[in-house]
Amino acid sequence: MQLRFVGCGDALGSGGRFNTCFHVTGASVNFLIDCGASSLPALKRLGIARDEIDLILITHFHGDHFGGLPFLLLDAQFTRRTRPLVVAGPAGIEAKLANLMEALFEHSSKTKPRFDLSVIALEPEQSRIFGEVKVTPFPVIHGASGGPFLAYRIEAEGRVVAYSADTEWTETLVPAARGADLFVAEAYYYDKIVKNHLSLKTLEAHLPEINAKRLVLTHMNNDMLGRLGNLPYTAAHDGMVVEL
């Protein structure tokens, strides 16, 4: 199994990076984690076959994590996708997706897809199984709008991948990522403590209790990107592959 960073940027295009989108593939799984506004061109740039993706997990409704879905769904329609697709995310995702489709492409939410599209709301700490993928969402803290906000602990092919999503430090990240084979964590700031986002220094203090086997930093602002050569951690870049 592998995880490829299709996009690991923030909402503001820092460093020219694409919005958040990770592609996980293995012998029996093929899914995306988040689908930010720029994700369709990012997927195409990497030559990723969209019609082989079975599942898209959305962490929250900010444009840099969710805004790519209308483009992806339209592309699926125009390329005559037949494979079923599941889109799963926080409570309210059905209405949020329909509203987004209408805002970007009028009447598109009323066009019935040629393929079987299921849009499924996930509840915190209630595991769901999608094919060979077990997903457990954990509530995280990321402000007053764009939520609910979910981190994910994902089990597939004997491996565990955890993603913090966008969040300030919250204790739920410990069970979400404990002992994971790969923990992808937001490190928006280096040491500045702000609401709604995680800084590397805060994260660092909790790494021993999380005890993940690998850590990869993502969703970094310009200050963090300027420090990449001097950090003792792996940082994501667009196109990077992590073998699991």
Nearest to 143 by CA among 127, 122, 165: 165
Other C-beta atoms within 10 Å of 231: how many? 14
Q: For residue 19, give every residue at least 6 positions away whose Cβ sits within 8 Å of its Cβ, in sequence order, or none.
A: 7, 9, 11, 13, 34, 36, 37, 38, 39, 42, 63, 64, 65, 67, 68
Q: Match 């999380």 to its residue by tokens.
A: 210
The site string for Zn ion over 189-228 (x = CB under 5 A, - otherwise) reads: ----------------------------------------
Q: Is 168 in the site for Zn ion (CB under 5 A)?
A: no
Please pick, from the candidates 4, 17, 50, 62, the single residue that binds Zn ion as defined by CB under 5 A: 62
**Which one of 4-12, 88-96, 126-134, 230-238 is the stretch in contact with Zn ion (CB under 5 A)?**
4-12
Task: Report the amino acid identity of residue 238.
Answer: D
CA 18/CA 5 separation, integer angstroms = 10
> Smallest distance, Å, CB 188 to Zn ion?
8
CA 163/CA 198 separation, integer angstroms = 13
- Minimum CB distance to Zn ion smaller for 166 or for 238: 166
> Smallest distance, Å, CB 65 to Zn ion?
5
- Minimum CB distance to Zn ion smaller for 13 or for 84: 13
Q: Is 166 in the site for Zn ion (CB under 5 A)?
A: yes
CA 50/CA 110 separation, integer angstroms = 22
First-last CA distance in the chain:
5
Please pick, from the candidates 64, 155, 168, 238, the single residue that binds Zn ion as defined by CB under 5 A: 64
**Which one of 3-11, 79-87, 123-131, 222-230 is the stretch in contact with Zn ion (CB under 5 A)?**
3-11
The site string for Zn ion over 11-40 (x = CB under 5 A, - otherwise) reads: x-----------------------------
> Smallest distance, Å, CB 64 to Zn ion?
4
- Residues contributing to the site for Zn ion (CB under 5 A): 11, 62, 64, 166
